[in-house]
Chain A
């Protein structure tokens, strides 16, 4: 049931990309996203696929992991393509009855798919090669300057880290309660709407209660270990930029520059 939630899942492997500093990966990812938007169709966009394949090779991950990330978006992609093909006016390419497929429409549709897949790939590459904790660590360091403006960056990041950390547990719990109620004849997918809603309550209510309980326990456990927010808190491992980090970010910056100039 929850099989499709793997967009943000970390995939462990031994690779240069996995070892990079999260900050450089975030920055490089942002640069790459800009490249995707700045690249023109098709001669700048297509070579980007070679770059992606290169990154995929370096990351030591399998292409299937990325294909799975596209799956939940398939419907959105298909609808957008159909709309673009049908409704963008221009030089006629194919015409029957009232349907008019234009050259421009087809072009926009293809460039849309190409860009969308690239964007998904970039995001997936970031989340697949970086643990959520490292990602949040990186973000916190990058957002550090905002602390001077009085923003509670540390607390914000802590909240996000905890929620990320608890998603798998939450899914597990949801699955268990669902199964338990399934054993009592409560089906959530078939039957009258009123019946299904009632069954939904049997699922969500216990889930809410368990989650609140868990939150309570966690906050007590954190306070028991003297957690009091970010002030004066030191780190076990500090992030360190290496030569590869600079090289990675600079090459992405160079790519953006090339795309912008050409």
Chain B
């Protein structure tokens, strides 16, 4: 397991009157190829947890282990390697765009890694393909003239050009329109399935991203309150409601039906399609039952 957190706590402005404990004694392991959603209210420590995973913050207590190395003991050079392998996309990543042209913006990361021009060019093309931006159409476009969805994908490509094996995302769909959200979500799904990149994202709006995740982690006041796979959603419904996490409407419908005795065998696929299929199957078998009853 590449990521393992043991008793990790983090306190902001430690030792001052403004000290604030953001993360408290978290134990967690994250496996390769996972898609993990971290949920929780504002101020529950979600973003802090992400930053602990790629060494932007170092745990005040406990240890964060990545590939058998304690992050607190890494040298500056090793940290650069870590951040290359564990890519981080901040909230509103389009704000970090500074270059005039799309190409230069995406090439910034690879150039910082000291790669030669040929390799940089290859990576820019690859990452643009990964986020669904046509190279010929976009590479010379002005960054400021792009739509917000395009900007976000450019920023995402800027991280992907580092060839990370893990991708940490903070609210990847916040503030995007429908088209922008869809393109980002598709992109993430493909990255996970095709390139086997582990994706860990933070959100407080599960609506957009529910069908991506196989595992849910709910934080409350800096503590992990729930760590379940998507198929365990139903057993934990009440607990999820207690933690004030909003579920997508179709899951609410599915839950209400199950409460009324419908048997929905959803396994870990909780997409609208899968739920609709289960409802249809149930409906048919119920019809048959009532017919044979007559």
**Binding stretch for chain A, among B88-96, B199-207, B234-242, B273-281:** B88-96
Interfacial chain A residues near B56, Cβ < 8 Å: 179, 182-183
In the assembled complex, how far is the CB of residue B152 from the closest CB belonging to chain A, in whole angstroms?
Answer: 13
Interfacial chain A residues near B162, Cβ < 8 Å: 184-185
- Whether A186 contacts B95 by the Cβ 8 Å rule is no
- Whether A11 contacts B17 by the Cβ 8 Å rule is yes
In the assembled complex, how far is the CB of residue B244 from the closest CB belonging to chain A, in whole angstroms?
Answer: 26
**Binding stretch for chain B, among A90-98, A109-117, A202-210, A223-231:** A202-210
Interface residue A177 (Cβ < 8 Å from any Cβ of B): yes
Interfacial chain A residues near B90, Cβ < 8 Å: 176, 179-180, 183
Q: Complex formed: what's the CA distance from A61 to B112 in Å?
A: 46
- How many CB-defined contacts (below 8 Å) exist between A and B? 58
Known A-B contacts A177-B95, A206-B95; the reply to A186 vs B159 at CB < 8 A is: no
- Whether B108 contacts A184 by the Cβ 8 Å rule is yes
Q: Which residue of B lies closest to A195 (CB)?
A: B112
Q: Which residue of B lies closest to A186 (CB)?
A: B112
Interface residue B83 (Cβ < 8 Å from any Cβ of A): yes
Interface residue A44 (Cβ < 8 Å from any Cβ of B): no
The number of residues on chain B lying at the interface, defined by a beta carbon within 8 Å of a beta carbon of chain A, is 24
Interfacial chain A residues near B112, Cβ < 8 Å: 184-187, 199
Contact of B96 among A65, A180, A185, A199 (CB under 8 A): A180
Contact digits for A1-17, partner B, Cβ 8 Å, 1 yes 0 no: 00000100001100000
Interface residue B260 (Cβ < 8 Å from any Cβ of A): no
The number of residues on chain A lying at the interface, defined by a beta carbon within 8 Å of a beta carbon of chain B, is 23
In the assembled complex, how far is the CB of residue B137 from the closest CB belonging to chain A, in whole angstroms?
Answer: 24
Interface residue B51 (Cβ < 8 Å from any Cβ of A): yes
Q: Complex formed: what's the CA distance from A193 to B173 in Å?
A: 37
Contact digits for A113-145, partner B, Cβ 8 Å, 1 yes 0 no: 000000000000000000000000000000000
In the assembled complex, how far is the CB of residue B221 from the closest CB belonging to chain A, in whole angstroms?
Answer: 21
Interfacial chain A residues near B80, Cβ < 8 Å: 185, 187
- Whether A206 contacts B88 by the Cβ 8 Å rule is no
- Whether A184 contacts B95 by the Cβ 8 Å rule is no
Residue with the greatest number of chain A CB neighbours at <10 A, chosen from B80, B84, B159: B80
Of residues 167 through 223 on chain B, the ones whose CB sits less than 8 Å from some CB of chain A are none
Contact digits for A141-185, partner B, Cβ 8 Å, 1 yes 0 no: 000000000000000000000000000000000001101111111
- Whether B159 contacts A183 by the Cβ 8 Å rule is yes
Contact of B158 among A184, A201, A209 (CB under 8 A): A184
Interface residue A74 (Cβ < 8 Å from any Cβ of B): no
Of residues 201 through 260 on chain A, the ones whose CB sits less than 8 Å from some CB of chain B are 201-202, 205-206, 209-210
Interface residue A190 (Cβ < 8 Å from any Cβ of B): yes
- Whether B109 contacts A184 by the Cβ 8 Å rule is yes
Q: Which residue of B lies closest to A176 (CB)?
A: B90
Interfacial chain B residues near A184, Cβ < 8 Å: 108-109, 112, 158-159, 162
Contact digits for A30-71, partner B, Cβ 8 Å, 1 yes 0 no: 000000000000000000000000000000000001000000
- Whether B98 contacts A205 by the Cβ 8 Å rule is yes
In the assembled complex, how far is the CB of residue A178 from the closest CB belonging to chain B, in whole angstroms?
Answer: 10
Given A180-B96, A184-B158, A190-B76, 4 other A-B contacts at CB below 8 A? A182-B56, A183-B90, A185-B80, A185-B84
17 contacts between A and B (CB under 8 A): A65-B16, A177-B95, A177-B96, A179-B88, A180-B90, A181-B96, A182-B56, A183-B54, A183-B83, A184-B108, A184-B112, A186-B112, A187-B80, A187-B112, A190-B76, A206-B96, A209-B95
Nearest first, the 9 A-B pairs at minimum CB distance are: A185-B112, A184-B109, A205-B98, A180-B96, A183-B88, A180-B90, A202-B98, A179-B56, A183-B83
